[in-house]
Structure 1
């Protein structure tokens, strides 16, 4: 059944003004389902996206964000947007591994952990590759933008420091998607829970360590219950997108669609800049105890980092094979994605970030 656009206030006013012209005024409100509370860097980026829509449309379009899973929990957002319960929402590939298998390309651990590089590569892939667009369209979804967790680090409680990969053996760890599979292969005992539960798990000893992210440490207050962070900069989780119901999208005018596209691009740079600033600030504040305990920053040996990437290769092949079985060109999509990562790495190295040019 075709969803009905949520309209908070739709009115047509015809009046004769000084210029003898009729004027139509309307405000359309779109419901956005977000699974996390309104705090932290990503929440700031989503709010920026909403403000861009309102500004670029002259107030005619507005995003009403339902934070903290009030409208839909993360596990229900994709189906909720498909059905029209929400007009837009934040979706994560792990919650719908079959339906969002294509999007899960962003969850495969690679050497790149730069948020600006990763976000732009995902945006280009998901908006320009026809196969990726169709993979979402068949579930009545349109991709508008991407989020990222930033690079994966190992955050641990006192006495559970990870200095080499050998230290992973026997550790009770929380991680997600392919990262959890690789860590299990390397001997860790994986604890299944959402990231929102990690503080209590670390505090009570249910978990010794977490595959964590600098950008989330302040928001989730984990330095209050940990004592070390092993800096790994191991890929980033990007099967993490902002989507709109396809029927709502098709009801928009081309000009309105362009406003949403422009907001997605603007959010990409804005969010990446926020993340890079947060990473630098948090990594500096941790050893000083400004966020809780004085946290020891440990550098994982480069040889061990390379072992992590090697351990990931079989899961890349697995993604390609499963994508082929779904009727898409898995290898072709993977090649395009890695080429985009290289493109933006080169642009960054040669020209710097856009805000520094």
Structure 2
């Protein structure tokens, strides 16, 4: 009898071990980046292990070791990874609904507001999740970027000062907005923007303080203009849909709650980063922060080029039977 009990106990332990899962998180972010994204990615993994009582864990594959930035959606969809950072603005044709913020710059929400809006839209409108499901993806959390202004190599105090400036551009809203300002949109990657500022290929780039410091743009551009662009939407914390559906109910509930808690933790870290950078700017980094007449920028929203971009998103949303009125109201001043 004792032997049978012993065998049963060993079998139970082995079965328990067999049920333990290690999920793979693929990210382009270097582990040592030390910014809000890197810190909270590790926080998510630690919390997942803690909240599942060590039954499950996440192994993070840092620095593009498994997939580069633009490869992550396909990598996740194929099941090579379970979790990953989908940089939504890079895939506007693949994920137009989930890129709503990218069609509405400037907009009035801060980082936390943008993240909460994405949570709300996913909860209220199944089309947002269906768009991801078509790529075998599921959103477990949202990582908005910080509120953006303009980092420039020369002082800019009004729209008149923007005439003829070369400004880094990407996505949908920024090219139209920059042209409406009387400036020239220049398409340059994030990685190439440092040299472009240094060599005067561009005069300004839309960015927030934390990212400006992270990419060291503030070494070569010393004027930060508080243009009220609002927060940009950055990343979906996505899962392979099959991996998500294969979780037991208890683990899935942990992930669902953790996704919301992640937004709060990430937003807190991001705010701390931005405040720290602004203090550094006052010191040895010597970046001058300049006010910009908010009314001037908001008036640009009426420009037909800016409105055409917004109408384009509305058409895409209505084509999928998404009620747009509440969404548009949240995105407009």
State the TM-score, normalized to the length of structure 2.
0.88
Query: Aligned-pair distance for 1:20?
Result: 9.9
> Partners in 1 of 2:169 and 2:209 — Cα distance?
15
1:127-155 alpha-carbon deviations (Å, 9 max, x no partner)? 44212111111111111111122111110
Aligned to 2:326: 335
Aligned to 1:352: none
1:170 equivalenced with 2:164 (yes/no): yes
Taking only aligned residues, the RMSD between alpha carbons, in angstroms, comes to 2.5
Change (3 A) 1:46 1:309: farther
1:329-356 alpha-carbon deviations (Å, 9 max, x no partner)? 2xx14514745x89xxxxxxxxxxxxxx
Aligned to 1:71: 66
Query: Aligned-pair distance for 1:18?
Result: 11
Equivalent position SS for 1:196: coil
Q: Which moved more, 1:243-252 or 1:127-136?
A: 127-136
Q: Is the 8 A contact 1:35 1:69 kept in 2?
A: yes
Match of 1:321 among 315, 324, 332: 315
Q: Is the 8 A contact 2:317 2:324 kept in 1?
A: no
Equivalent position SS for 2:233: coil
Equivalent position SS for 1:124: helix
Query: Aligned-pair distance for 1:239?
Result: 5.0
Equivalent position SS for 2:187: coil
Q: Is the 8 A contact 1:122 1:337 kept in 2?
A: no
Match of 1:216 among 201, 211, 214: 211
> Partners in 2 of 1:313 and 1:15 — Cα distance?
73
Query: Aligned-pair distance for 1:116?
Result: 1.7
Query: Aligned-pair distance for 1:183?
Result: 0.9
1:162-194 alpha-carbon deviations (Å, 9 max, x no partner)? 211222222222132222331133232222222
Q: Is the 8 A contact 2:26 2:67 kept in 1?
A: yes
1:296 equivalenced with 2:288 (yes/no): yes
State the TM-score, normalized to the length of structure 1.
0.82
Gaps of 5+ in 2: none
Q: How does 1:140-179 map to 2 (within 5 A)?
A: 140-157=136-153, 160-177=154-171, 178-179=173-174
1:232-251 alpha-carbon deviations (Å, 9 max, x no partner)? 13122215211111111111
Equivalent position SS for 1:232: strand
Match of 1:48 among 43, 51, 54: 43
Gaps of 5+ in 1: 1-13, 343-357
Aligned to 1:121: 117
Match of 2:252 among 257, 263, 267: 257
Equivalent position SS for 1:191: strand
Q: How does 1:1-357 map to 2 (within 5 A)?
A: 16=6, 22-23=12-13, 24-25=16-17, 26-38=19-31, 39=33, 40-107=35-102, 108-157=104-153, 160-177=154-171, 178-289=173-284, 292=285, 294-311=286-303, 312-325=306-319, 327-329=320-322, 332-333=323-324, 335-336=326-327, 338=329
Change (3 A) 1:110 1:204: closer
Q: Is the 8 A contact 2:111 2:232 kept in 1?
A: no
